[in-house]
Amino acid sequence: MSVIYQRVALIGLGLIAGSMAHAMRRAGLAGEIVGTARSAETRKIAAEINLCDRITETAAEAVQGADLVVLCVPVGAMSAVAAEIGPHLSKGATVTDVGSVKQAVVDAVAPHVPKGVHFIPAHPLAGTEHSGPRSGFAELFDNRFCLIVPVEGSDPKAVADLRALWEGMGANVEEMDPDHHDLVLAVTSHVPHLIAYTMVGVADDLRRVTDSEVVKYSAAGFRDFTRIAASDPTMWRDVFLNNKDATLEILGRFTEELFALQRAIRTGSGDELFDYFTRTRAIRRGIIEAGQDTAAPDFGRTKASD
């Protein structure tokens, strides 16, 4: 691959930004990678591990002369960061993000992007439960999807360059409008995370089940709920506050399905349960066939990566 952006500024240095830095270096996609984070400790660690070519103390400093700026901060912080960097963005630069909500990001960031600067939201559908500057790795995006969400009037060349960057980092790229993105992600990510947090909370509330039993006897189902529920609480608080309508719609549908299953169990409707589980099992096969997971035991994880 050849260089797509001469200078990339990463604002926020957690899992996604760190993985982007590693992936861009792996493929030679950026001439220089500049990074910054609000926390002095994060900036210090990033400098120690050479995560970026340069680390700056402020976002305003980081974006100067950058032709791509990536907002890798929680959705709730997007507006303040965009306001800070707006006056310092170079004409012709592209501003993008990696947030898992899109309409709220458009509303928060677009007003602060000056004329002559391209704003193209995006969302890589990849992650782990880990966070911080040490958590990133170059392979995170390999064969995962990145959704690009162009706003009205987006420059085709700027969109093409951003697509080329994500493809160069290993991702499959598709485009989507903001509202549809938020509904799809409510189904595939947001509500499942909420359910995971709830299930772990239920276990915590059941005082009849001791802590040691929960730990010792965690079968794959509950164990993976705890893995999901270990995700960054700030990020997920902001996701639910900023994707309220879609999340509540899907939660309502989930509640209806749950009531139907409760009724089938209560009335002993084995055929109904069997048919339901057969239909939903096909979704799992589709995920495997799409290359988004493996059929290996333990959700495709080895003991080394557990």
Neighbour count for residue 298 (Cβ, 10 Å):
13
Q: Which of 154, 176, 198 is the last residue of a domain?
A: 176
Q: Which of 118, 147, 176 is the last residue of a domain?
A: 176
Domain that includes residue 64, residue range: 5-176
Separation of alpha carbons 98 and 180, rounded Å: 16
Digit-by-digit pLDDT tens for the chain (306 residues) are: 799 999 999 999 999 999 999 999 999 999 999 999 999 999 999 999 999 999 999 999 999 999 999 999 999 999 999 999 999 999 999 999 999 999 999 999 999 999 999 999 999 999 888 889 999 999 999 999 999 999 989 999 999 999 999 999 999 999 999 999 999 999 999 999 999 888 888 877 775 556 667 666 666 677 778 878 888 888 889 999 999 999 999 999 999 999 999 999 999 999 999 999 998 888 888 888 888 777 765 544 544 443
Can you give the CATH number for the domain in which 159 is found?
3.40.50.720
Question: Total domain count for the chain?
Answer: 2
Query: Is 28 inside a domain boundary?
Result: yes
Same domain, 251 and 198: yes
Same domain, 31 and 55: yes
pLDDT of residue 209: 58
Q: Which of 176, 195, 226 is the last residue of a domain?
A: 176
Query: Is 298 inside a domain boundary?
Result: no
Same domain, 54 and 18: yes
pLDDT of residue 283: 85
Query: Is 66 inside a domain boundary?
Result: yes
Same domain, 204 and 137: no
Same domain, 25 and 162: yes
Query: Is 277 inside a domain boundary?
Result: no
Separation of alpha carbons 22 and 289, rounded Å: 28
Query: Is 206 inside a domain boundary?
Result: yes
Same domain, 203 and 228: yes
Same domain, 165 and 184: no
Same domain, 128 and 165: yes
pLDDT of residue 220: 66
Same domain, 126 and 227: no
Query: Is 153 inside a domain boundary?
Result: yes
Query: Is 84 inside a domain boundary?
Result: yes
pLDDT of residue 302: 46
Query: Is 291 inside a domain boundary?
Result: no
